[in-house]
Amino acid sequence: MSEKNLLSVRDLVVHYETDEAVTEAVNDVSFDIKPGEILGMVGETGAGKTTIGMSIMGLLPKPPAHVISGSIVFEGEELLPTSPEPKKLFDFAIRRKRRHEEKGLERMLRTIRGKKITMMFQDPMTALNPVMYVGDQISEVLKIHENLSDADAVKRACEILEMVGIPANRYKEYPHQFSGGMKQRVVIAIALACKPDLIIADEPTTALDVTIQAQVLAMMKDLQQKLGTAMILITHDFGVVADICDRCVVVYAGEIVESGNLTHIFDNPMHPYTRGLFGSLPNLEVDTERLTPIEGLMPNPMNLLPYCSFFTRCKEKCDDCMKGNPKLVEVEPGHLVRCFVTTAGKEK
């Protein structure tokens, strides 16, 4: 615990505001990442995983997104504006101050994004520019962030291509000439080009076949260890988490409901949602006659309940659950759970 945090996110709240309603995408999320660590972020579609990743990158579409509160500190630098958001239309002084601060932050983010923090997007088919050589898409990053000359950038890009297992002579080819697995390798190459400190990988293997997924995961783990990069791996697959992550957070309806290391999550899941997820996975090792799915659906984030967001689907609920939203409770060192019932009496 003595090591300094590379990234720490505190009390992050992100809303999407539209004319009809406010979508509470991320509610009060806090987590830390240490250098060289792989954090798995697991949750269902619409749980807010990608929004968390995007807010770290400063890539949220504004509007409709609004960072309501919270702080994101990366290597000691705050990435979110600290001045208050203007409440009224005519708060000109506040508005001006805020805009000035946002401009400064954007300038700083441009030097960080792509160099110190990089992001790998879910779909390699759409993440690459279809009318640019794949090699040029890698050397572009190097030219912008490392001020390399054209010739040097091309040389480095070729090295990086070889590193991810693509022959350098395919530099001058277009993305459509590559298969899905190869495209994902190019995306990884772009993300690794500047040897970043942190990679946010948003479902990097979801669009790939299992055999290709195994190849890509093995390579990512290998390169991550070689370069000492920290990584946030956003996924919905507990299998992938068990494979390469050090720690894991489970996200549900924009909240972290459980976090801990792999032993905590896999051997002693405490939150009913985490338990439910394990119950709905068909297991290769054990013969189960019938799966035990989580009943019902995720709550509408436009209309969240004032109490525990898992209440309606929970099997272990009691009347106390309606009294308010539970806090994250540390049940054993490093293992945090957000539930009234399962943490009762176990608080340390």
Tell the residue number behind the tokens 């297992």, with chain if given.
Answer: 165
Site stretch for other proteins (CB under 8 A), options 17-25, 144-152, 169-177, 291-299: 291-299
Does 281 bind other proteins (CB under 8 A)? Our answer is yes
Q: Tell me, by CB under 8 A, how many residues bind other proteins.
A: 45
Residues 198-227, interacting with other proteins (CB under 8 A) = 209-215, 217-218
Tell the residue number behind the tokens 């996200």, with chain if given.
Answer: 251
Residues 245-264, interacting with other proteins (CB under 8 A) = 262-263
CB 306 within 8 Å of CB 324: yes
Residue 92, number of CB atoms within 10 A of its CB: 10
Question: CB-based contacts of 312: which residues, under 8 Å, 6+ apart?
Answer: 296, 299, 305
Does 129 bind other proteins (CB under 8 A)? Our answer is no
CB 296 within 8 Å of CB 312: yes
Does 20 bind other proteins (CB under 8 A)? Our answer is no
CA distances to 91, 192, 222, 227 from 163, rounded to whole Å, are 53, 10, 11, 12
CA distances to 25, 151, 231, 299 from 307, rounded to whole Å, are 16, 59, 32, 12
Fill in the per-residue mask, 180 to 199: x = in contact with other proteins (CB under 8 A), - = not in contact: -xx-----------------
- The one among 173, 243, 246, 332 contacting other proteins by CB under 8 A: 243
Site stretch for other proteins (CB under 8 A), options 65-73, 127-135, 273-281, 332-340: 273-281
CA distances to 22, 94, 133 from 75, rounded to whole Å, are 32, 28, 34
Closest CA to 47 of 77, 23, 74, 31: 23
Nearest approach, Cβ of residue 9 and other proteins (Å): 24
Does 170 bind other proteins (CB under 8 A)? Our answer is no
Q: In angstroms, rounded to a whole number, what is the distance separating the alpha carbons of residues 46 and 30? A: 18
Site stretch for other proteins (CB under 8 A), options 72-80, 153-161, 282-290, 326-334: 282-290
Does 316 bind other proteins (CB under 8 A)? Our answer is no
- The one among 169, 179, 225, 268 contacting other proteins by CB under 8 A: 179
Does 293 bind other proteins (CB under 8 A)? Our answer is yes
Closest CA to 229 of 59, 70, 34: 34
Site stretch for other proteins (CB under 8 A), options 80-88, 117-125, 271-279, 326-334: 271-279
Q: Which is nearer to other proteins, 139 or 274 (CB)?
A: 274
Does 162 bind other proteins (CB under 8 A)? Our answer is no
Residue 175 backbone dihedrals phi, psi, to 5 degrees: -55, -35
Binding site for other proteins (CB under 8 A): 44-45, 179, 181-182, 209-215, 217-218, 236-243, 262-263, 266-267, 276-285, 287-288, 290-295, 297
